[in-house]
Amino acid sequence: MTSEPPNARPYRGVPADQRRARRRAALMEAGLELLGTRGWAATTVRQVCAEAGLNDRYFYENFPDRDAFLLAIIDDQVARATDVILSAARQAPRQLQPRTRAVVTAILDFLTGDPRRAHILTHAFPASPLLQRRRIEIIRTMTAIFTAQTHETLDQVLLPDADIELTGLTLTAGLWELFTTWFRGDLGIDRDHLVDYTVALVLSTTELATPLHHRLH
């Protein structure tokens, strides 16, 4: 009969897999705290383990290296943001203006609800080539959501799929920079103005079909 590995045995009544999940959660929270307050350079394995109160062997139990850990933090926040966006869209009326306003408001609520998220947006991403590369993938993901929502919300989509994708890509990349600039305090507008402008910008893209048709034909 094979004996159970020591690390797999319950400790104080807590199964091994639960203990590991708790350690991973503690590391993720420590990483979010460091990345969202002190920045990318300060989020080292040593500092994360100190913040979490764990030995570094538990870090490598969950993550192969620092880069994988940083991407795990970002991907977790992106997954949460995606859930927020889709939930806001589902709960809003199937009309372009109220649904767009609901989604834009939800995104800003998400970013302002935890100041660490805005700090990552304004400081960590620009400072890290690794996160800059991930930013490209995030923008592509958000572009796909925009395309799906356009088809779901509009009864008749006049733009071809290629142009819808171009529009989503332009909006997503542009709004990323707009929100980053606003969170840095470099724009002299309040939140309501930012929401109104963003909604108007998104709505204006639905009027691209006619001028695009005349320009290309």
* pLDDT (tens digit per residue) in 124-159: 999 999 999 999 999 999 999 998 988 888 777 777
pTM: 0.87
Who's near 212: CB < 8 A, 6+ residues apart? 159, 163
Q: What is the mean pLDDT of the chain?
A: 89
Left if phi > 0, otherwise alpha if psi is -120 to 50, otherwise beta: which for 138? alpha
Helix (H, G, I), strand (E, B) or coil at 14: strand
Is the predicted pLDDT of residue 49 greater than 70, yes or no? yes
- CA pair distance 51, 27, nearest whole angstrom: 8
End-to-end CA separation in angstroms for the chain:
78
Q: pLDDT at position 4, please?
A: 41
Split at pLDDT 50, 70, 90, the class of 41 is: very high
Closest to 177 (Cα-Cα) out of 125, 110, 127, 133 = 125
